[in-house]
Amino acid sequence: MKSVIELIRAREILSGPGRPTVEVELTTADGIRVEASVPSGTSKGKYEAWEVYDGGKRFRGLGVKKAAENVNLEIAPKLIGESVLAQRKIDDIMIELDGTKNKQRLGGNAILAVSLAVAKAGAQAAGLPLYRYLGGLGGVRLPVPLATVISGGKHSPSALDFEDFLLIFDGFTCFAEALEALVEIRYLLEKNLQKKFGLVADDGGALAPPINDNTQAFDLMLEAVEQAGYGGKVALGLDVAASDLYLEDRGLYKISGREMEPAELIDYYISLAKQYPLVFIEDPFDQDDFESFAKLTAALPDRKIVGDDLFVTNPVRIRMGIEQKAGNTLLLKVNQIGTVSEAYDAGILALQNGLAVTVSLRSSDTNDSFIADLAVGLGAEEIKLGSPVRGERNAKYNRLLKIEEELGESAKFAGSLR
């Protein structure tokens, strides 16, 4: 049989922020060789696929030698001789081998690394670019870039409540133009913040100015947009990460020093959407608060109300959202569910039921550019990659530039299609 797996080898490597993660090398009997590595998130939903870590003192407990060992000793022997073109079969073998609901025995980080490698090898075996292999002939749409340029939340050195303050580049005719605008605006924003505040902390490529007013962050961002000459072409977005702000024992959210009922928070978001070109609100409520998600979706039907921790790229939770009309956009993170097949199914389920899809990287990501091809293959409207100032982010931006160039005149840009 052509392109059967001959070798799978996993190892521990470092992600962009210097955190251990799993890389898998896969070779086939006919000479295909690929590598794939997996990301991890700093802020995680409680329903995500489980990641296996070593514990102990090494890397503050975050080593992944155990996960790599699970690949080498348990997964690899089961897959030798399987065709890399049998993606779903291989993913199902690993899911069955793990035997748990959330991949906690072998680890989502172990399983996904193999799944990604199989997809890459499958594309080579089929003689197709990865985005075509994943999405067929329909894979011609380049996503709108979403970039976190100011950071807040519990993991940021700033005092802002919300985790990500985003710029959304949907007023352009192609991806390359949108990326050029992002680079220029991000540069000007950094210079402006340095003039106002002196040395400004950098949080994974996003800026963390010493401010605590959420609207001030928007004002600073729009100032840079206007200064760069892109007024009217760039919108705003938020990742609230509201589960981190939720006082579960009291059912309240603590924002800007105030404790708010869900209804008050809905009014707050509506006020922001009236005051600013705010078109994207991610995780505005706790990950189990489907009711408030539904109310905000109804109140702001022309804005993207985005489920990240709410949906965790899981078809079961996506269906719950569809039934309750809670959210209108899926934030798709492949490692939340743990295999390529399941992530793709989640994206298709969302699209078939009228939800938009935004593909996203994780805060502790690698130079693996798989999700760039996935976004094009799925026809996702947007991709959330962060500021273009670190290798793990720019690997994905650069891959999208190459895809757009390769597609030539057949390339469509999601921003120009709205």
Contact 366, 391 (CB under 8 A): no
Mean model confidence pLDDT for the chain = 95
d(CA 371, CA 146): 14
The string of pLDDT tens digits covering residues 102-115 is: 999 999 999 999 99
Contact 12, 22 (CB under 8 A): yes
The string of pLDDT tens digits covering residues 208-241 is: 999 989 999 999 999 999 999 999 999 999 999 9
Beta bridge partners of residue 282, listed in sequence order: 239, 306
Contact 356, 131 (CB under 8 A): no
Q: Is 408 exposed, middle or buried (0-12, 13-18, 19+ CB in 10 A)?
A: exposed
Contact 141, 105 (CB under 8 A): no
Domains of the chain as residue ranges with CATH: 5-127 (3.30.390.10), 135-417 (3.20.20.120)
Q: Does pLDDT of 396 surpass 90?
A: yes
Mean pLDDT of 263-277: 98
d(CA 341, CA 125): 18
Q: Which two tokens stand for residue 290?
A: 């489907």
Of 79, 58, 71, 60, the residue nearest 23 (C-alpha): 71
The pLDDT score that the predictor gives to residue 363 is 86
Count CB-CB contacts under 10 A for residue 124. 19
Distant-in-sequence, close-in-space partners of 318: CB < 8 Å, separation ≥ 6: 307, 311, 330, 346, 349, 350, 353, 355
Confidence bin at 43 (pLDDT 50/70/90): low
Q: Which two tokens stand for residue 196?
A: 């106002």
The string of pLDDT tens digits covering residues 292-349 is: 999 999 999 999 999 999 999 999 999 999 999 999 999 999 999 999 999 999 999 9
The pLDDT score that the predictor gives to residue 416 is 67
Contact 17, 105 (CB under 8 A): no
d(CA 149, CA 74): 42
Q: Does pLDDT of 417 surpass 70?
A: no
Contact 413, 173 (CB under 8 A): yes
Distant-in-sequence, close-in-space partners of 358: CB < 8 Å, separation ≥ 6: 143, 146, 280, 304, 306, 329, 330, 331, 332, 380, 381, 382, 383, 384
Of 158, 131, 148, 219, the residue nearest 182 (C-alpha): 148
* Percentage of residues in the chain having pLDDT higher than 70: 98
Q: Is 20 exposed, middle or buried (0-12, 13-18, 19+ CB in 10 A)?
A: buried
d(CA 169, CA 277): 12
- Distances in Å between the alpha carbon of 226 and those of 184, 223, 234? 11, 5, 9
Contact 333, 344 (CB under 8 A): no
Beta bridge partners of residue 21, listed in sequence order: 13
d(CA 104, CA 275): 44
Q: Which helix (H) or strand (E) holds 328?
A: none
The string of pLDDT tens digits covering residues 146-195 is: 999 999 987 777 789 999 999 999 999 999 999 999 999 999 999 999 99
Confidence bin at 202 (pLDDT 50/70/90): confident
Count CB-CB contacts under 10 A for residue 38. 32
Lowest mean pLDDT among 38-52, 250-264, 356-370, 401-415: 38-52
Contact 234, 181 (CB under 8 A): yes
CA 95 to chain CA centroid, nearest Å: 22
Contact 351, 377 (CB under 8 A): no
Beta bridge partners of residue 240, listed in sequence order: none
Of 273, 249, 257, 181, the residue nearest 213 (C-alpha): 257
User: 0.85 cut: is pTM over it?
Assistant: yes
Phi, then psi, of 167 in degrees rounded to 5: -105, 140
Beta bridge partners of residue 306, listed in sequence order: 282, 329
Q: Does pLDDT of 116 surpass 70?
A: yes
Q: Does pLDDT of 80 surpass 80?
A: yes
d(CA 4, CA 82): 5
Between residues 364 and 217, the one the model is more confident about: 217
Q: Which helix (H) or strand (E) holds 167?
A: strand 164-168
